[in-house]
Structure 1
């Protein structure tokens, strides 16, 4: 440090010491009750300001003022027109025989505390003190990350927030039912089910504002396949078997005819998988295509399957009876029942014809 620097620092120490001795103002002066008639120390009402706002500190002068200063704890902010604070947010607003006002812009929590205006008049010193209270809107500072779990696992979500006044936190599941909630910074979900998957919202609230953040929970589970529907297709026509599976993560699909796996493009068949749906398409159904098919849905947690029957006009249904044959039997029975005598006559004639031939 240069000689000039030492000299400036020495002068400031002398001024600060002089102010303390002159005004009998020790560092960290406690707040006294308002209206202390035994001294010239005046206590103003607390000033409440929100973080980021600007606060004005006003001090009445009067009489013949020889020295005046604004102090924060043990630091001098302004001594008359001379700025001692190195904080660019602090500036002088007014200094005359009526008042001495400074301002602090973009107030933060570090600015909270007691401020003292010290005035030396021609008669005696006096002080005016004021306490600044800084209110801070809530801010979520510690939040669980998005998670992926298997169905049946225990889950704990955490949400911690800062602010002044101290904020309260709560959790809720964003869904149509909205039946899962907690008025705490922790949310416990034992043995989570697939119905509990979704977006969870944490809300932090105080008198100033609200902060909201979300966490996504993905629940993995094994596939469940919808029951297969039999399909009847005429020879030479187009046919489609559809297989749908509910699974997280999405299932992979495999198709089988009897015990033989079918691949895309095999014997003119096409397999298209779209999300939870798989389609097996026949573009020109032949006799060899009729039969039993199986769809298998697989993911890392398990598998599920369902069966289908592709049948045609002369193919058998699941009960093993030919649909074409059943139709002929029903028609023959209907004819013989309606004209019973005719049936007997025809049969008798056939017998005579056979005897004559013999």
Structure 2
């Protein structure tokens, strides 16, 4: 019997082969378009060609598939094989032959479902209840990886439609960062032909990959991936850095945008006119960050207010930057111009400005000091002047005394 075991092993590789016991109905499942082999063992003192295969389908009448050694129903899809297995003599001394009677369905389909009976006369040798399995497949959609675009805050609606035999159930899930599948829609299975997943107020923090799984538990489960792209308007953040030099202040303003789709970034002056890259303003944009660099000088008029503006197809955002909030002009050392001579000292007051200047263009003091030289007398000159005044006063009094004496004598 070893050769018989090997024979069944070889043919089972490419066929579904089923052997039923007499008096027992065996339920079997076959895939659509698959070859299905149904076998029965016929023992008879007569020729095995007297046996036949028939199929019973409600509400139809029985279909006679084979009779004797001929296929009488759909011969292009059904094959019949007879093979003698053994011969023996029973207790009554009669010769009994044992045969294998094999019915093969070449390309099975749903119409092949029903009960198959192998019999000869009133003797039933095997019975099968055959069910044809149609693998699950998505309806009118061969793309298993789809893209969905949604605006942040709106409702996400996904549809999944599958057919099969038995009818597949549909479940929704998403894959977490650790690789685990997390069920959606409370993990409930949908048995309808078309199933909908509805998620309200969808945001960028919600799953961006959602999977639809169809499974009829009789064939391989299939899945469809939805890549969800959430669009949202730009959101700007700014960062200002200042570097104080000897006679200027270098300013670097960074403006970063978070947006989907990516936003374009513009720099505007205080009149909302666009700034371009020039010898005054250096503008560089890398990925989602734009950098504006420039220098300010105390004696030059410079802009104080700048605007960073970003926009995409969803919306826009704008940030204002007042650089006077970040710089202090008293940190710049401005040297005073001083002229010294042996006789006079002149101070040019036009080059003095307040230490607490808050504007970018330093203003002069309100009480303007005269620019004409101011003479300063030295101590030696003061002493000489005092001595001369004393001598002159003494001589004047002496002459007055002589004059009074002569007048008194001659009068």
The two structures have a TM-score, normalised by structure 1, of 0.63
Contact residue 228 and residue 308 of structure 1 kept, 8 A = no
Q: 1:63 — aligned with what?
A: 45
Give, in whole Å, the separation in 2 of the partners of 1:252 and 1:134.
58
Tell me how far 1:132 sits from its aligned partner: 0.9
Secondary structure of 2:331 counterpart: helix
Contact residue 44 and residue 129 of structure 1 kept, 8 A = yes
Q: Does residue 218 of structure 2 align to residue 223 of structure 1?
A: no
Contact residue 117 and residue 124 of structure 2 kept, 8 A = no
User: C-alpha offsets along residues 49-89 of structure 1, whole Å, 9 cap, x if unaligned?
Assistant: 34454422113332314533323345444333333444655
Q: 2:258 — aligned with what?
A: 246
- Of 194, 210, 226 in structure 2, the residue corresponding to residue 200 of structure 1 is 210
Tell me how far 1:210 sits from its aligned partner: 2.3
Q: Does residue 94 of structure 2 align to residue 82 of structure 1?
A: no
Tell me how far 1:197 sits from its aligned partner: 5.3
Q: Does residue 320 of structure 2 align to residue 303 of structure 1?
A: no
The two structures have a TM-score, normalised by structure 2, of 0.56
Give, in whole Å, the separation in 2 of the partners of 1:127 and 1:179.
51
Q: Does residue 290 of structure 2 align to residue 278 of structure 1?
A: yes
Structure 2's unaligned 5+ residue stretches are 1-19, 57-61, 85-97, 191-195, 336-354, 356-375, 383-411
Tell me how far 1:281 sits from its aligned partner: 5.4
Q: Does residue 184 of structure 2 align to residue 181 of structure 1?
A: yes
Secondary structure of 1:133 counterpart: strand
User: C-alpha offsets along residues 283-326 of structure 1, whole Å, 9 cap, x if unaligned?
Assistant: xx57477744321111233221224466xxxxxx5166315259
Bigger helix fraction? 1
Q: 1:4 — aligned with what?
A: none
Give, in whole Å, the separation in 1 of the partners of 2:334 and 2:66.
109
- Number of aligned residue pairs: give it: 286
Tell me how far 1:211 sits from its aligned partner: 1.6
Structure 1's unaligned 5+ residue stretches are 1-33, 36-40, 311-316, 333-352
| CA distance 1:197–1:57, shift in 2 (3 Å) | closer
- Of 214, 217, 220 in structure 1, the residue corresponding to residue 225 of structure 2 is 214
Give, in whole Å, the separation in 1 of the partners of 2:316 and 2:377.
65
Give, in whole Å, the separation in 1 of the partners of 2:251 and 2:34.
72
Larger Rg: 2
Alignment of 1:110-125 (within 5 A): 110-120=111-121
Contact residue 203 and residue 212 of structure 1 kept, 8 A = yes
Q: 1:9 — aligned with what?
A: none
User: C-alpha offsets along residues 79-120 of structure 1, whole Å, 9 cap, x if unaligned?
Assistant: 333334446553334344512102224544443222233424
- Of 15, 40, 49 in structure 1, the residue corresponding to residue 30 of structure 2 is 49
Give, in whole Å, the separation in 2 of the partners of 1:275 and 1:321.
32
User: C-alpha offsets along residues 217-237 of structure 1, whole Å, 9 cap, x if unaligned?
Assistant: 222222111133234375899
User: C-alpha offsets along residues 231-274 of structure 1, whole Å, 9 cap, x if unaligned?
Assistant: 43758999754321111222121111322533544446454444
Tell me how far 1:279 sits from its aligned partner: 3.4
Give, in whole Å, the separation in 2 of the partners of 1:146 and 1:139.
19
